[in-house]
Amino acid sequence: MSGIEKVCQFLEEAGTYYLATVEGDQPRVRPFGTVLIFEGKLYIQTGKSKPVSRQLAANPKAEICAFRNGEWLRVSGELVNDDRREPKAAMLEKMPSLKAMYSADDDNTQVLFFRNATAVFASFTAAPETVSF
């Protein structure tokens, strides 16, 4: 399994991860759950109407953190907007519960992928493992 696939699987198994953005000099963090590998990139999904979307438009730097089975994962990098229909449709197909609120053709659905990402798997018992994508 490649590094990015390990990251995606960890986030899927954790179920919930926490996405941090910056607003001016203030960190903002909230729970997220959407994750998908599309065309070899790691995507998340949100709504353009949310503050998180506005924060990422102003400053794409972001970090996510998740915990699962005594291990934690942090992914830091930039989240880049992708307005194509294909990754939005793929995200909604993977996570059909989103279809209650979003569609690939609405003006709100947004998918973003990680660029210049560094992911670190860590635990109290083993040396950290770093992957980049």
Ligand X SMILES: Cc1cc2nc3c(=O)[nH]c(=O)nc-3n(C[C@H](O)[C@H](O)[C@H](O)COP(=O)(O)O)c2cc1C
Residues 8-67 contacting ligand X, CB under 6 A: 16, 28, 30-34, 45-47, 50-52
Nearest distance from C-beta of residue 33 to ligand X, angstroms: 4
Q: How far is CA 46 from the centre of its chain?
A: 9
CB of 70 to ligand X, least distance (A): 21
Of 32 and 72, nearer to ligand X (C-beta) is 32
Asked if 119 contacts 131 with a C-beta cutoff of 8 angstroms, the reply is: yes
Shortest distance, CB of residue 35 to ligand X, whole angstroms? 8
The residue among 15 and 128 lying less far from ligand X, judged by its C-beta, is 15
Cβ proximity to ligand X: between 16 and 103 the closer is: 16
The distance in angstroms from the start CA to the end CA of the chain is 14
H or E element, residue 42: strand 41-47
Beta bridge partners of 29: 20
Interaction of residue 99 with ligand X, rule CB under 6 A: no
Question: Of 89, 82, 76, whose CA–CA distance to 111 is shortest?
Answer: 82
Taking the CA atoms of residue 123, residue 32, residue 5 and residue 117 in that order, the dihedral angle to the nearest 10 degrees is -80
Closer by beta carbon to ligand X, 3 or else 33: 33
Give the interface with ligand X as residue ranges (CB under 6 A): 16, 28, 30-34, 45-47, 50-52
